[in-house]
Amino acid sequence: MGTKNRPGRFDCYANAEPDEPMFVLLGRDPMAGALVLEWVELRKARGEDPVMLAEATSCAEAMNEWAHKLGKQPIAYWSAHLEWEAQLLFKALGVPHDGDPKLEPNAGEQRAAIRRALERVYEKGRGDASTG
């Protein structure tokens, strides 16, 4: 894991091309750890270097600890996913809601039900599109 004073093996500053765009997340941001974990999951799905992904996971954990030391509550990775999936489901089904799906961050069964419903909505949309 890298810091400003101790760059890591996969340091983005050292590896960036001249004028290459980049976006930096800081440990003080309570969303940073969850966003890094999302990046890890997306890269893992592409078969990326496990050593790099392990370093990024450690960095996400350290970011959450840093934010917590500053008195901030880091957002839980799965909590962010539950909210996003619920919002998609409500929108897809045209269900009115107040913007807060009131889901528990560790509600695995609730999350699985939302995912199944989203898959049905997606498949229905694909079927409608393919049949005209």
Give the pLDDT of residue 126.
54
pLDDT at 57 over 90: yes
Entry pTM: 0.59
Domain layout of the chain by residue ranges: 12-69, 77-131
State the angle between helix axes of 108-131 and 77-93 in degrees (0 to 180), rounded to the nearest 10.
Answer: 40
Contact present, 60 and 40 (Cβ < 8 Å): yes
Give tens-digit pLDDT for 9-32. Answer: 787 777 889 998 988 899 999 999
The SS3 assignment for 65 reads helix
Model pLDDT, residue 129? 40
| Spatial contact of 116 and 85, defined as CB atoms under 8 Å apart | no
CA pair distance 44, 38, nearest whole angstrom? 10
Report the alpha-carbon distance of residue 55 to residue 64 in Å, rounded: 14
